[in-house]
Structure 1
Amino acid sequence: MLTSDEVVFLENLGRRDVAIVGGKNASLGEMVQHLSNLGISVPPGFATTANAFRRFLKGNGLDQLISETLRDHEAERISLKEAGQKIRAAIVAGDWPDGLEDAIRRAYRSLSERAGQSEIAVAVRSSATAEDLPNASFAGQQETFLNVVGEDALLSACRKCYASLYTDRAITYRKLMGFDDQLVALSVGVQKMVRSDLGGSGVMFSIDTETGFDKVVLINAAWGLGENVVQGAVTPDEIQVYKPFLERDGLVPIIEKQLGSKELKMLYAHGEHGRKVRNVPTSKAERARFVLSDAEALELARQAVTIEGHYGVPMDMEWAKDGETGKLFIVQARPETVESQRKIGVFESYSVKKHGAELVRGLAVGEKIASGQVCLVGSPEEMNRFVDGAVLVTESTDPDWVPIMKRAAAIVTDHGGRTSHAAIVSRELGVPALVGCANATELLHDQQEVTVSCAEGDVGHVYEGISELQVQEFDLKDVPETRTKVMLNMANPATAARWWRLPADGVGLARMEFVVANTVRVHPEALLHFDDLRDESARAEIDALTKGYENKADYFVDTLSLGLARIAAVAYPNPMILRMSDFKTNEYADLLGGAQFEPHEDNPMIGWRGASRYYDPAYRDGFRLECRAVRRLRDTIGFDNVMVMIPFCRTPGEADRVLEIMREEGLERGVKGLQVYVMCEIPSNVIRAEEFASRFDGFSIGSNDLTQLTLGVDRDSDRLPHLFDERDPAVEWMIRTVIRKAHDAGAKVGLCGQAPSNYPAFARVLVDAGIDSISVVPDSFLQVKKHVAQGEAE
């Protein structure tokens, strides 16, 4: 129903109405009109128009006052703070013009009647006509008022929304983005409150906010009303969902779950003045469990995909779960404004070559690195003491902080997640940030020289001192086509998505042991025999890591499969060749609880490792857990592009024993498209290549170990480096021979190692020998691709 030209119900609005009701309200109307029948639920409501705002200003004679006040500020006759206060006070004291007040009252009554209530609780949100645009988010620039009940309270909240168009941060941001104050108007959105105070709420993006990886939905969640997540007052849960598998029946394509501390929750506070909400600490039980079930996370992700598909661009959305009905609602949707604007053809990679001791860690925002002196700031009122180019360290930020955030080299906060205000604004400004650090304001001090690194994956670090940095630029416009597949070596799930734009042919080597060491952290036997564990310190740490798991072995399967899924997601639909764990005994012993289950070996490099462990009674059950993680990765999450590789398999007899255990665990070669490779790193793999080829689909040459064992040279010896050379004729003979024998038997051969990167001629030798694929670290991809193209052209 159209109440007037100044008040419009959401169902009568669409995204073409930005000039009338601002980006936020236009988007809500668009979803109500076009997406309700596709399962997108938006709370009902109405909006005041830009015309109503202009009429309010004109009726109170405020146009001239605003213009003169802003001119006085521009001429430095008054401060920004004085200008903003003067304008806001005048707006809040204004009277409603004839007819406009009555229109708002009648719309509120109609909304209440629709809900079957006399006075419905509403959220009152500001929607500027220049916000939520593809190139400017105006994140949190204007006010929101929650749990507003009654006509008089609504009218008061509307005035305050109008006034918030002239906060210090809003005036500054418009100037920064080049928007003319005279051309920006404000609409007020009034929506039925979702009882998320009894449930939860949060933010989600239809794109990875740090890398631009476009195949995931990122969801942040906290208990209670959503302001805490948006403002970064809490560290929320974080869930990533793989979009391409959402419509496949029976799959649960969640590829990351990080439990947030969720320190506070915002609740209704009936009877109080003002916003009528309050923050209370969460319980231990609430902090220890996820806000969303897996099914709810998948439902939200499907809604994100639907909304993105309708708008045709990556989207930034806010959601709320009604605690009474369990229903999920979308309460805002706007275009994502950072990653979607990035140039596709060129990207930069940052790395720290040398750094000092780690001082603080948190969630990394962006992929850059910055150094400078720490400047601890407690509140925006202290912004005059901030030094340009310093590292801003504070508990959390809100839009009042924007004037100093844009002057910072980097930003570090105690609270917040990757969808908090600090994260959103720092991305937009191109400033690296660490959020959710917990204790940065306690551990860092003013004028301390530090380096803030967001270039090492999801976890960012603050290092002591000014570090040595390296920046590489990758131009993807002229990548040559090659017959030989060039793939990537990957181990760290946290950094995998950084490389999704590389036109690689898949992941030729994914190192399981890295994920076990850095993500799982626990020896599998320590989980299987937890009650017998003698190390009390390890028991306590394992108990904390596995909280919520009745069967501690399930922690290993779940955590390992999720870590591997983030690598598989970057490769899909190309193959990911996953090497099963290839720790040496001393490395297994370093895992939590591991020392009790590992023997001491004088030479673990050629000791109890690889296939020999997998069928041994002392580790066989641990290997079964590895297999179950891979089966979950393929069958439950959905990454059937994952192939398995067995390392250090000395004899065909060992291969038979390992393959039998895999078959028992539901990983049978040839079933559901599963291919199984073997590492070629021992001379016996070459000598008996025909026998290995009858058991495996292919070989992956580990050039380091093959060189070491062919030449009898310890690759780590500081006395024999002149003898360790993958280009030695004996090693080349081994490589050419296994390629010939494998191809004769119908098996494929790849090579994973640095030699093709280090020696261009070596890449051409591999091409000449007929290698099927070469797998290298991402930094070397373009270089090796060019070497291979040259070799194929010769």
Structure 2
Amino acid sequence: MTSSTCILWFNEVGLQHLAEVGGKNASLGEMYQQLAEQGVAVPYGFATTAQAFRDYLTANGLHQPISDALAELAAGRQPLAASGHVIRELIRSGDFSAKQREQIADAYLQLCEQLQTPDTPVAVRSSATAEDLPQASFAGQQESFLNVRGTDALLEACRECYASLYTDRAIAYREEQGFAHDQVALSIGVQQMVESAAAGVMFTLDTESGFPDIVLISAAWGLGETVVKGSVNPDRYMAYKPFLERPELNPVIESTVGSKLCKMRYAQPEDEGVGEHGRAEATVTVPTSANEQRGRVLEDSAVLQLARWAQVIERHYQRPMDIEWARNSAGQLFIVQARPETIESQKDRSVLVSYQLTEQGKVLLEGSSVGSAIACGPVCVVADPDDVEHFPEGAILVTERTDPDWVPVMRKAAGIVTNSGGTTSHAAIVSRELKKPAIVGCGNATELLHDGMDITISGADGATGKVYEGSLEFECKSISLADLPATTTALMINAALPDGALQWWQLPVAGIGLTRIEFIISSQIRVHPMALIHPDKVTDPEIARQIADLHHGFEQPTDYFVDSLARSVAKIAASQYPRPVIVRMSDFKSNEYRGLLGGEYFELNEENPMLGFRGASRYYHPLYREGFQLECRAIRRAREDMGFDNIIVMIPFCRTPGEADKVLDAMAEAGLRRGSAGLKVYVMCEIPSNVILADRFAQRFDGFSIGSNDLTQLVLGIDRDSAVLKSLFDARDEAVKRMIEQVIRVAHEQGCKVGICGQAPSDHPEFAEFLVHCGIDSISLNPDSVARASVHVAAAEAANR
């Protein structure tokens, strides 16, 4: 580049040119030059230099007026909105020098010639010299303009980009981050526009938990601005990175369809009020069709291609990345931006912080959680970000969508609730930077919530966030992982739901000792499996419609059940891979099964469901055998097709060795054969017969997991739900302890491992000491109990030496 040139092409710049072309353009050039051989496709283009911006300010005499306006703001004599407006108008009133106009126009014409398209549509993006740094994202602080055609429109868009260096949010953000305004300059990227049929954002880690082994992808129809700006609830996909280089596997562990109510596309001449040329931005937002709303934006093969590119980019930059992608109408994928991820990757991983509600409340709304925290406060519904002066400190901001323009309001809020938006939008990134929990994409929050009502928002349970009525009590715990004592007894955790499992990946545990399939079925699948196998038996048209909506897009209704369960179990297994994850097959009682959609048509009415048709007895019985086959198909897919061979199957409430044989035969019929492909099968030890005949059960299973609640219930003859007999219900009772001691001894004689899943070892140090004395192999706990229990277990091991 010569001193008189204000243009650099993408094949001329890389990360070493950040001061000259800003973070965004330096990254685009880096990828264009370095990653093409690895298949990463980046649309070509050029950048104006940061020096061109400084020359623009000098030529138009703007340095001093801008400095004066900022001084008025700093002195408190002028509010942020007024100062920003003054500066932006000053910049818009300037003009490019003849040389700058000529160089920008010539570069654009060269790009048109290379692409063999007159008036090539381009994306015009701001690239600040302090943007996209590893320590500060500046996400969404400056403007971008899409579908810009012609030289005049390009120059107008460039001027608007210059002005956007002083948006209110950009001024406030630089001051918060400690960047001097006059030290930040702006480059402009002019890039071949991808006529997006679909687009979105992806991160090379989980944005809520920081789990590093996945790629998280958001996707919507049309141009990607709807995802970036949070104006739609996008699809959400997740791929497991360690398996991406194994082509025989399909490690897409999440595929959630968002509502995607609208899309942004190129404006057409017939669109009202839009001319053919001459506008800085020529896009329109239109409603999506019913099929677009209900259908997946990306098939698994496209998810995997994007995920592999994301992994290539992450390895090249050697840090977690935030990437924007687009897909044209021909199905070709492109990377249009990449920047360092600056929030989860910067957190102190030696301390684990968790939130938990300590009282129950009525759920008013659900959406996607941003930040795994909890906040309470009065609602303040706001329609315009300019209302910042009237927003009360500590209120919960409720609005249509979060947008970077809202940053001044967001700073004052205790938390945020929106109608639309996804967890990978620019505003979600800023929410995390500001450490403000948010629940986005709730649908009708601005209608249901009203000013002054107290609410609690919680993202503590994973990707699905909840808005509760009232101010609920909660607790925040910090666990110093370095302070956890080492134990010989393996400590494992219980995992109820897939998203929650990812939150605990940092815990130094030996795996997951209990995952309950019924939790996944009730909260995520929601329909009785037999209603999918025999839809003709569901005679209520409304229930039939709800079931049909759930399996829309699947070739067979049963595919919905298998696909959803397989991905959910795989996500839990991914959180601990390669450590073991014990998955218990469904253990609903008949009354609980009736609560699923369509369940009333397939379930018995039992006087005592706790001791009735539950657990193993269902798996081979004609009333449920077909449903169990679907469960087995899902586990087989997660283990063999997706690669999670760390999954161990566990059978609950197995009353006799003969029943065990029938269950193992039913599993084999579905392709799950004990010992095949390394499959281990455990049995719950929760019935006295499991203890009395432990030697015979050990011939059929690889291990035992003691279910202390059911075992206590059946040894002492006490209904575990009885309030009257609550004082007698105690796993530390001598009769229960003798049962536990016996099964551990016999199982070890037979070469089987024994674990326990329950709260007693955490709550009672003497019970932990008893288990250690018996030689139990593992103790599985609720995750937030691991720190306390590890101290008890370590002390018990020391006393037992």
Indicate the larger mover: 159-168 or 67-76. Answer: 67-76
What is the alpha-carbon distance in structure 1 between the residues aligned to residue 363 and residue 477 of structure 2?
Answer: 24
Whole-angstrom CA distance in 1 between matches of 2:365 and 2:518: 26
| Counterpart pick for 2:369 among 364, 370, 375 | 364
Aligned equivalent of 1:510: 515
Structure 1: which amino acid aligns with 2:302?
Answer: E
Matched, 1:284 2:302: no
Give the match for residue 201 of structure 2.
203
Output the CA distance in 1 between the equivalents of 2:596 and 2:89: 62
Displacement of 1:120: 1.5
Aligned residue in 2 for 1:46? 46
Query: Identity over aligned residues, as a percent?
Result: 57
1:133 aligned residue:
133
CA distance in 1, matches of 2:155, 2:554: 50
Mapped to 1, the partners of 2:349 and 2:499 lie a distance apart of 21
| Letter matched to residue 669 of structure 2 | E
Which position in structure 2 is the counterpart of 1:442?
Answer: 447
For residues 448-490 of structure 1, the C-alpha deviation after alignment (integer angstroms, 9 at most, x for no partner) is 2111112122211221221111111111012222221111111
One-letter code aligned to 1:549: F
**In structure 2, how many angstroms separate the alpha carbons of the residues matched to 1:203 and 1:105?**
31
Shift of 1:4: 5.4
Higher mean displacement: 354-363 or 448-457? 354-363
Where 2:674 maps in the other structure, the secondary structure is coil
C-alpha RMSD over aligned residues: 1.4
Say whether residues 1:622 and 2:615 are aligned partners: no
Residue 275 in structure 1 maps to residue 281 in structure 2: yes
One of 555, 558, 561 as aligned partner of 2:563: 558
Higher alpha-carbon deviation: 103-112 or 78-87: 78-87
Residues 492 and 509, structure 2, Cα contact 8 Å, conserved in 1: yes
Partner of 1:247: 245
Matching of residue 213 in structure 1 with residue 191 in structure 2? no
Alignment of 1:383-462 (within 5 A): 383-462=388-467
Per-residue deviation, residues 568-615 of structure 1 (Å, max 9, x unmatched): 111211011111111111111111111221112212212111111111
SS at match of 1:274: coil
Tell me the CA shift for residue 494 of structure 1.
Answer: 2.6
The amino acid that maps onto 1:38 is Q
Partners of 1:793 and 1:73 lie apart in 2 by 64
Cα 1:2–1:730 change in 2 (3 A) is farther
1:93 offset after TM fit, Å? 2.3
Q: Tell me how far apart the structure 2 counterparts of residues 159 and 239 of structure 1 sit (CA, whole Å).
A: 37
Please say if residues 369 and 432 of structure 1, whose CA atoms lie closer than 8 Å, have aligned partners that are also in contact.
yes
Which blocks of at least 5 consecutive residues in structure 2 are unaligned?
269-275
SS state at 2:462 partner: coil
Deviation at 1:446, TM superposition (A): 1.2
Corresponding residue for residue 715 of structure 1: 720
Select which of 341, 347, 367 maps to 1:342: 347
Q: Secondary structure at the match of 2:503?
A: helix
Q: 1:109 to 1:242 in 2, by over 3 A?
A: same
Match of residue 223 from structure 2: 225
- SS of the residue corresponding to residue 347 of structure 1 reads strand
CA distance in 1, matches of 2:743, 2:83: 78
Q: Is contact 1:3–1:9 with CA below 8 Å preserved after alignment?
A: no
Contact 2:208/2:462 (8 A) holds in 1? no
Q: Which residue of 231, 235, 238 maps to 2:236?
A: 238
Which residue pairs with 1:159 in the alignment? 159
Q: Which residue is 2:577 aligned to?
A: 572
Map of 2:688 onto structure 1: 683
For structure 1, the 5+ residue unaligned runs are none
For 1:212, the aligned partner's letter is: G
For 1:176, the equivalent position in structure 2 comes to 176
* Secondary structure, aligned partner of 2:187: strand
- The match for 1:149 is 149
Q: Show the counterpart of 2:256.
A: 258
Stretches of 4+ moved more than 6 A in 1? none
**Match 1:643 to one of 635, 643, 648:** 648
Answer whether contact 2:322 2:339 (CA < 8 A) is retained: yes
Partner of 2:322: 316
Residue 436 of structure 1: CA displacement? 0.5
Q: Deviations over 1:212-257 (max 9, x none)?
A: 1111111000111111111111111111111111111221111111
Q: Is the 8 A contact 1:3 1:103 kept in 2?
A: no
Aligned with 2:135: secondary structure?
Answer: coil
Query: Are 1:418 and 1:435, in contact at CA under 8 Å, matched by a contact in 2?
Result: yes
1:638 and 1:699 map into 2 onto residues whose CA distance is 25
CA distance in 1, matches of 2:387, 2:728: 62
Paired residues in the alignment total 791
Cα distance in 2 between the residues matched to 1:658 and 1:340: 45
Quick check: 1:299 aligned with 2:297?
no
Q: Which moved more, 1:527-536 or 1:654-663?
A: 527-536
Deviation for aligned residue 1:355: 4.3
- Offset at 1:381? 2.9
CA distance in 2, matches of 1:170, 1:57: 18
Distance in 1, matches of 2:525 and 2:2, equals 57
| Deviation string, structure 1 residues 341-378 (Cα, Å, up to 9, x no partner) | 11111122111122432222211110111111111111
Say if 1:355 and 1:466, in contact at 8 Å, map to a contact too. no
Structure 2 counterpart of 1:170, one-letter code:
A
Structure 2 counterpart of 1:399, which letter?
P
2:726 is paired with a residue whose SS is: coil
Task: Show the 5 A alignment for 1:642-791.
Answer: 642-791=647-796
Secondary structure of the residue aligned to 1:499 is coil
Give the counterpart letter for 2:192 in structure 1: K
Structure 2 CA distance for aligned equivalents of residues 709 and 473 of structure 1:
38
Shift of 1:2: 7.5
Asked if structure 2 preserves the Cα contact closer than 8 Å seen for 1:4 and 1:103, the reply is: no
Deviates more, 1:333-342 or 1:415-424: 415-424
Structure 1 distance, partners of 2:408, 2:376, is: 20
- CA displacement 1:173-211 (0-9 Å, x = unmatched): 111211101100000001000110xx1000111011111
CA positional deviation for 1:3: 9.8
Match of 1:20 in 2: 20
Contact 2:574–2:644 (8 Å) recurs in 1:
yes
| Structure 1 position 98, deviation (Å) | 4.4
- How far is the alpha carbon of 1:336 from its aligned partner? 0.7
1:496 is aligned to: 501
Query: Hey, what's the Cα distance between the residues in 1 that align with 2:658 and 2:234?
Result: 50
Matched-pair contact (CA < 8 Å) for 2:154–2:280 = no
Tell me which amino acid in the other structure corresponds to 1:700.
S
CA apart distance, 1:5: 4.1
Task: Give the corresponding residue for 2:68.
Answer: 68
**Paired residues of 1:628 and 1:665 also in contact (CA < 8 A):** yes
Distance in 1 separating the partners of 2:266 and 2:719 = 67
Q: Specify the alignment match of 1:87 in structure 2.
A: 87
Distance in 2 between residues matched to 1:2 and 1:529, nearest whole Å: 74
Q: CA deviation at 1:676?
A: 0.5
TM-score, reference length from structure 2: 0.97
Deviation per CA, 1:132-186, whole angstroms, max 9, x where unpaired?
1122111111111111111222112111111111122211211121110110000
- What are the Cα deviations for residues 95-129 of structure 1, in whole angstroms up to 9, with x where unaligned? 22242222212211221121122321110000011
Whole-Å Cα distance in 2 between the matches of residues 189 and 2 of structure 1? 19
Q: For each residue in 1:713-761, what CA deviation from the matched residue of structure 2 results, as whole angstroms up to 9, or x when unmatched?
A: 2222222223222122221221111111111111111111111111111
Deviates more, 1:295-304 or 1:523-532: 523-532
